[in-house]
Structure 1
Amino acid sequence: MARRKRNWQPNAYYHVVMRGNNRQNIFAADEDMYHLMRCIAHAAEIYRFAIPAFCIMTNHFHLLIRSEDDLSKIMQQINRRYSDYYAKRYYHVGRIYQRRYFAKAVDTPQALLAVSRYIHRNPIETIVPMVSQLADYPFSSFSFYKTRPEQLPSYVDTSSLLRCLPPSFEKTQAAYAAYCEMDLEEITSLEEYLQNNAYE
């Protein structure tokens, strides 16, 4: 039975998730995560896309991606290149991914903020946080907003999400980083305070 064709629209944003088979780890070492980043960079030399947010965890990775070229071809390029590397490095036979990638359209500014914040907060939302500060995690795009703007990979877009920030935030990378670091309760309280005091 043929696979159902995905409903992809050019230049729309999608939240993409790729998981290891049976939720097993597919990134056993830092070098593996760095290699996935190299796979993404290599795909960016072939296809046209931009990623405002990504995060690589031990058994899955997240992308918030907008592409001019077919998303399925981009993901096929990334996943095949990484799985070939994994098979060679770990003498692995068989598939490493659970299934085809999950992709859901993200179509409002509020949703873009929520999804990107969720992606960036992955390392501290685990049962045992992987880092104490988001900027300390080297395998996500958060540090390019917070501490490493000069090291921006070609495929990372740190400008699009700034336009989505609520009126209470400046449209800067530092403001976006602060937004991600805040608890939801803090964001809600700030918005309510500014609304209640808007005409004072």
Structure 2
Amino acid sequence: MRKRPWFPKAWYHITARGNRKTDIFYDEKDRYKYLTLLQEAKLSHPFHLHSFCLMSNHVHLLIETIELPPGTFMKDLHSQYAMYFNKKYGYVGHLFEGPYKAKLENDVNAVLQVSRYIHLNPCRALLTLQPEEYKWSSYAHYLSPSPYYSEFVTTSTILSYFKDVKQYEFFVQLANKVRPGHPNHG
């Protein structure tokens, strides 16, 4: 297997999908478990989590490394979650389609686009019209910081590229409104 490029302060759009595109989260407890394991991974292998979205059959994470590559925690995170999931539901075998995917994002514009893409994922899947209404994403925390996510999700870096939170909201919502098939599409 080809080794992923890595260096301190590298930004990655990490994705992982259920085996055969099947669901990896059946209920809220599953999502909370994944977030708890992600939080534990962040404590034991420090990194910055800038954006996330947990869909039913896949996850999106926008992370920035500090001193360790993402492989130091992603493999453990997904194997721990798979063990939890398989035990809970009486399954055996692979939960995830394969190793997580990590796309290195090389510039600020790409990072901002990925953050927007992650936050709009529930809208693209037609789960909600407004991304802030989707509970399993970091977007609502960007608009109105939550104590639950404050120690977990770093919003300051992304927001530093905007005049204020409202400008980031406009940046995200603009892409949401120009989508064909969206009720606000002109």
Task: Give the TM-score normalised by the residue count of structure 1.
Answer: 0.82
Aligned CA-pair RMSD: 1.7
Unaligned runs of 5+ in 2: 179-186
- Aligned residues with identical type, % of pairs: 32
Aligned length: 177
SS in 1 for 2:15: strand
Give the one of 7, 11, 14 matched to 2:12. Answer: 14
Structure 1 residue 41 displacement after superposition: 0.7
2:102 is equivalent to residue 103 of structure 1:
yes
Alpha-carbon offset, residue 67 of structure 1 = 1.3
Matched-pair contact (CA < 8 Å) for 1:50–1:157: yes
1:108-149 deviations in Å (ceiling 9; x for gaps): 1111111110000000101xx112321111111001111334
Partner in structure 2 of residue 60 of structure 1: 58
1:117 aligns with 2:116: yes
- 1:153 Cα offset (Å): 4.0
Within a 5 Å distance, the mapping from 1:35-114 to structure 2 comes to: 35-68=33-66, 69-114=68-113
3-state SS in 1 of match to 2:97: coil
Q: Which has the larger radius of gyration?
A: 1
Runs of 4+ in 1 over 2 A off after TM superposition: 147-155, 172-175, 183-186
Whole-angstrom distance in 2 between the partners of 1:58 and 1:156? 21
| Structure 2 match to 1:181 | 173
Whole-Å separation in 1 of the counterparts to 2:44 and 2:166: 31
Q: Which of the numbers 27, 30, 36 marks the counterpart of 2:28?
A: 30
Q: Counterpart of 1:164 in 2: which secondary structure?
A: coil
1:34–1:139 CA contact under 8 A, matched in 2: no
Q: Is the 8 A contact 1:16 1:65 kept in 2?
A: yes
Aligned to 1:119, the other structure's residue is in SS state: helix
Task: Render the CA deviation track for 1:146-200: whole Å, top value 9, x for unaligned.
Answer: 13344324231101112334xxxx1x233212321223787xxxxxxxxxxxxxx
User: CA separation in 2, counterparts of 1:38 and 1:85?
Assistant: 12
Secondary structure at the aligned position of 2:14 is classed as strand
Question: Is the CA contact (8 Å cut-off) linking 2:13 and 2:102 kept in structure 1?
Answer: yes
